[in-house]
């Protein structure tokens, strides 16, 4: 698909997005997402919501649509802000009746992506050099300030791990007290999490589409099923 991204104090970037892309979005970014193809496009949003308007939920400000912020202002205020007449305001504010995800009219053409706009915003974890490559074991790509400097502003890092059938990710934890949110991308396997007091707090089978959290200083280990397993984790440290 295609994404339009406006970072604070910056011009809009229009990027082509594809499978494996990790995109760093700092607080205050304005975005739109468009699937111009016939195939399904799935975008997974992971982030820190502890300081959200409602703790635990993303805080979205819609610029357009039925719940857009401009629908709340009077036409006088909007016309002066945009420097247009009130009839134009009514067309701009009222013509989009959708909310969130909308189906575009075939006549609408969105901006084309620019190759150079991907720089500093996107890191493709499927095509990146491997940080760990164990024969018959698995592969790891780490996303941090070295390959995507923008994550320093966000305070989050990430990794993509792919295990071959029956392989194990041995027990580990983050030494700088980061917590970890893990989303299972494909496959299935078993996971165990142990707390700092040596007591097992989680033992379960996980499969594609499921997500679990490893608290600070807790130790996690995974053994995948014969078909293998891959997961994407965000970690609360950019390093």
Nearest CA among 50, 55, 44, 33 for reference residue 234: 44
Q: What confidence tens digit (pLDDT) does each residue in 127-181 have? A: 999 999 999 999 999 999 999 999 998 899 999 999 999 999 999 988 888 999 9
Query: Given this model, what pLDDT does residue 206 score?
Result: 98
Q: How far apart are CA 21 and CA 137, in angstroms?
A: 23
Residue 38 has φ and ψ, to the nearest 5°, of -85, -20
CB atoms within 10 A of CB 95: 8
Side-chain-facing half-sphere of 67: CA atoms under 13 Å: 7
Q: Which residues contact 142 (CB under 8 A, 6 or more apart)?
A: 131, 157, 158, 159
* Confidence bin at 71 (pLDDT 50/70/90): confident
- In this prediction, residue 197 has a pLDDT band, given cuts at 50, 70 and 90, of very high
Confidence of residue 188 (pLDDT cuts 50, 70, 90): very high
Residues 177 and 170: their CA atoms lie apart, in Å, by 18
At 92-115, the pLDDT tens digits run 888 877 778 888 888 888 999 999
CA–CA gap between residue 41 and residue 2 (Å, rounded): 10
Answer yes or no: is pLDDT of 62 > 90.
Answer: no
Comparing CA positions, the residue from 29, 28, 34, 43 lying closest to residue 183 is 43
- In the Cβ-directed half-sphere of 84, how many Cα atoms lie within 13 Å? 11
Separation between Cα atoms, residue 229 and residue 169, nearest integer Å: 11
25-57 tens-digit pLDDT: 988 899 999 998 878 999 999 988 888 899 888
Give the pLDDT confidence score for residue 171 in this predicted structure: 96
Res 30: pLDDT: 92
- pLDDT (0 to 100) of residue 189: 98
Decide the pairing of beta strands 157-163 and 132-134: unpaired
The percent of residues above 70 in pLDDT, for the chain, comes to: 100
Do 230 and 207 contact (CB within 8 A), yes or no?
A: no
Kindly report the three-state secondary structure assignment for every residue of the chain: CEEEEECCCCCEEEEECCCCEEECCCCCCEEEEECCCCCCCCCCCCCCCCCCCCCCCCCCCCCCCCCCHHHCCCHHHHHHHHCCCHHHHHHHHHCCCCCCCCCCCCCCCCCCCCHHHHCCCEEECCCCCCCEEECCCEEEEEECCCCCCCHHHHCCEEEEEEECCCCEEEEECCCCCCCEEEEEEEEEEEEEEECCCCCEEEEEEEECCCEEEECCCCEEEEEEEEEEEEEEEEECCCC
pTM above 0.95, yes or no: no
């Amino acid at each position: 698909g295609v994404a339009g991204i406006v970072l604070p104090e910056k011009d809009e970037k229009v990027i082509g997005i594809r499978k494996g892309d990790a995109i760093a979005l700092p607080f205050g970014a304005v975005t739109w997402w468009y699937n111009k193809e016939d195939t399904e496009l799935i975008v997974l949003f992971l982030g820190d919501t502890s300081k959200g308007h409602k703790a635990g939920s993303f805080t979205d400000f819609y610029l357009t649509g039925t719940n857009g912020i401009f629908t709340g202002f009077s036409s006088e205020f909007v016309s002066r802000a945009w420097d247009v007449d009130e009839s134009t305001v009514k067309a701009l504010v009222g013509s989009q009746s959708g909310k969130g995800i909308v189906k575009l009219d075939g006549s609408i053409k969105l901006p084309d992506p620019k190759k150079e706009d991907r720089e500093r915003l996107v890191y493709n974890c499927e095509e990146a050099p491997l940080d760990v490559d164990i024969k018959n074991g698995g592969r790891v790509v780490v996303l941090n300030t070295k390959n995507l400097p923008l994550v320093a502003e966000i305070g989050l890092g990430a990794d993509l791990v792919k295990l071959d059938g029956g392989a194990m990710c041995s027990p580990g934890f983050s030494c700088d007290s980061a917590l970890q949110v893990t989303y299972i991308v494909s496959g299935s396997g078993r996971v165990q999490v142990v707390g700092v007091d040596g007591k097992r707090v989680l033992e379960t089978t996980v499969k594609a589409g499921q997500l679990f959290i490893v608290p600070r200083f807790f130790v996690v280990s995974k053994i995948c099923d014969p078909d293998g397993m891959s997961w994407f984790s965000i970690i609360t440290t950019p390093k």
